[in-house]
Structure formats: structure tokens, C-alpha cells
Amino acid sequence: MCVSSHAFELVEFAAAKRAVDERNLESREPLEKPLDVLAQHLVTLAAGSGFDSNYLLEEVRSTWAYRNLTDEEWDWVLAFITTGSKTLERYPEYSKVERKGNQYRLVDRRKVRMHRMSIGTIASDASIKLKYLKGGSLGTVEEAFVSRLNPGDAFFFAGRCLEFVRVKDMTAYVRKSRSREATVPRWIGGRMPLSTQLAETVREMLGEGDLKDSPEMNAVETIIDLQRSVSHLPNSHEILIEQTKSREGHHLFLYPFEGLLVHEGLSVLIAHRMTQRLECSITSTANDYGIELLSSKPLDFVEAEWREFFRSDRLLEDIVASLNLGELAKRKFREVARVAGLVFSGYPGQPKTHRQLQVSSTLLYEVFQKHDPENLLLEQAKREVLESQLEISRIKQCLDRMGQQEIVMTSPKRFTPLAFPLWAERI
């Protein structure tokens, strides 16, 4: 059963049905060398009958995820499970597995029990308390939202405009702000963004002339006709940019149809590149279909400037400059550290709180950053933020595609059917 939250989601339902009929199913992107999972697996084997490192290496490399595992990375993981890495080798709680030649065994019964209670890779997202620097609590927000904020960023919460200051011990500290441009936190929960395959099918269906090939497209025909009459309906070879003015300021709506995760990174990236040319504050909003950029100043850019915004070179540098990548990596490292066995989640009936886990993993993160910056678990956390959370490879593909598409710019007098859900997403 599909229940739409706005009319254009009917197009998504029709696209999903067509994709299923054509057997155009989503592919699963396998992880590349998740060393935290490998470390957990090796300790599990060592807690049983033990393992021979030479024989096991061949078995590990026979799997797709570890087919490119190097000898150096294998040796690093073996050293990690025996000493806890060079920065932690003096702490006995991180020295788990004992080595005798090529044989590895975990013989400490207490460590065996602790490891078996920690087996698994599923991590839950935490909520963070929101407090004034000097004052009381305001409530809670999802950690995924706070981790994207830089100090000084403004956002609305409970009717107040707040400025983000810092995060400490699972508490975000804020002060009042007078900024007119601010974002709105939302609980992501189980919301699933458009996949690459579904996004492509949505673009194809919108570009087709006949909209009556399914009940969903027939139902949304009036809305699509309205979009055509007041602005433009982009086909798969076009990128639509709408420019609208309201009491809030100047709005730019951009419709790549690439899905929420790609659009979140893309909106921040384009806003960052715009502020390099125009001194202004820009608020960005994204949904599955497009991006809204709101500013108190007109965002008048010609086609040549838009082509520059769509360039994929310097993508990594601009993403790092526009997002709080350090906080995102620190949050991801907490998951990596738990899976790898660096952080113990607690005994049954006595689980550690998210705050306790965050304090422990943050301390380890800072120690590795300072004394072991080439730690492979640290590198994994940063890599997974870019590849999984920000989907940087899909952002690059999206930028390359938009760079080749025809740019269609319109100036509707009011929000169009495509723009309205984006505007409503922010309020």
C-alpha cells in the first residue's frame, strides 16, 4: 500500500510499479573493506577454536568485500585484535587475542563473554539534548541533524531561532539568534530516499508526453498540467531552475530528481559555491525531487555561473569546507568503534547510555586523531561518511549529468506544484 504525502509522490508510485514490471530492481552497493567487521569476526573465531592467520587470509579474500585487502591491512587488523593498536598497547583491556606463531586464541573468559554480548553491526541513531549556553533545556533533536551543523549555523526549534555553538556529552549548546535565514530540524527515522534506479524512472515518466498509462499518472495529470502552465516540466535532458520572490526572501528551486540523500549534500555544496561569489546567507532545504535555496538577497546567476556550480572537480574540498565533516566522522566512528570492540555497550539489563558510549568513543577518536592519525578505523569512519552518508559518488554523477543538461530557468509569480512541497518541508 502506498500513501502519498503530496501529489507528486504519485509519480514515484507509478515509477516504482514500472520499475518492478521491467525487473529494474535496486542494486545493493557492497561495503569495501569494513575493517571493524573483520576485526569482530576474527575475535569471534579466536573466542572459539582459534584460527590460523595464513589459512584465514585466503578465506577472507574470497569474499567480495575483502577481495582487495592488502597484506598491510591484514597485518594491521591482526595487530589491532592482539594489542589494540600502537596507541592502546599499554592498556590490557584492549589486548584481547593471544598469538602463538600463526595461531590466534582468545582465552580470557571475561573478555570472551564481553565480546559475545557485543556481536552485531546494527547501530541505532541517538537523540541529543538541546540547551541554552546559560539557561534551561529546550528539548531533543536527532543527532544526524546536529552533526551537520557548523558553529554559528542558525535553525528554528520550538518557535525559536537558535544559533548552534557546540556539542559536548550528547548535549548541543545554543544561543538565541536574530538570523532570518535558518533551517528546521526534522526526525529522519525510517524515511527512505529515492534510489538511483527509481530516480531515473521518475525523470523518464515526467518527460513522457502520455501521462495516462497508469492510474497514478492519470490522477496527477491536472497537477502536471498546472506545473507546465505556470513554469515548465523538465524532461530527462533538462534541469529546471525556478526563481520566486516571497515575503521570506528570494527563492531558488532546483530539480535534479536524485533523491533526498544526494540533494542534502548537493544543496549545501551549491550554497557554499554561491557564497564564494555573493556575500549573503543562504538556507537550503531538500526533498526527494529537488532543492530550495533561500536568501534575503536576489540569487541572480547566469547560465555560465550555473555551469561552474555544477562542476565536479574540487568536489571533495568543497564538501569538506561546507559541512562539519569532523563531527560527522566522529559520530560514524562511534559505530565503527563499537563493532570493532573498542567500546563495550554494556551487560544485558545494564546497557550503557548513548552519552556514555559517545564520551568513550569521542575520547578514542581524539586520541587517534592526535597520536595515530593513520589509524585504519579512523580512515574507515571518514570514508564511510563520504561514501554512505553523503553519497559523494552519486553527487559527482549528478553534477556531471547536470553539467550536460539543458538549463531551463523560469520566474513564476508563486510557488509551483514542484516547489510547494519543498517550501512546506522547511516550515
Q: What pLDDT digit, counting tens, does each position of 272-299 carry? A: 999 999 888 898 888 888 999 999 899 9
Is pLDDT above 80 for 308? yes
Cα gap 395→401, rounded to integer Å? 10
Contacts of 161 (CB under 8 A, 6+ apart): 154, 155, 176, 177, 178, 179, 182
pLDDT value for 209: 56
pLDDT band at 65 (very low <50, low <70, confident <90, very high): very high
Contact between 26 and 80 under an 8 Å Cβ cutoff? The reply is: no
pLDDT value for 348: 60
Residue 129, strand partner residues: 140, 171
Higher pLDDT, residue 31 or 233: 233
Q: Which amino acid is at 167?
A: V
For the entire predicted model, the pTM comes to 0.71
Is pLDDT above 50 for 189? no
Is pLDDT above 60 for 369? yes
Average pLDDT, the chain: 85
Higher pLDDT, residue 332 or 147: 332
Q: Which amino acid is at 215?
A: P
pLDDT value for 77: 96
Domain boundaries, the chain: 196-322+396-426
Cα gap 148→153, rounded to integer Å? 10
Q: Is 178 helix (H, G, I), strand (E, B) or coil?
A: coil
Is pLDDT above 70 for 262? yes
Task: List, edge to edge, every strand of the sheet that includes 238-246.
Answer: 282-286, 291-295, 249-255, 238-246, 406-410
Is pLDDT above 80 for 90? yes
Q: Average pLDDT in the 94-107 region?
A: 91
Is pLDDT above 60 for 252? yes
| 38 burial type by CB count under 10 A (0-12 exposed, 13-18 middle, 19+ buried) | buried
For 314-328, the pLDDT digits (tens) are 898 898 888 777 777
pLDDT value for 190: 42
Q: Average pLDDT in the 108-136 region?
A: 82
Cα gap 145→129, rounded to integer Å? 12
Q: Which grid cell is 405?
A: 543538461
Strands (DSSP E) along 133-185, which ranges? 137-142, 154-157, 160-168, 171-176
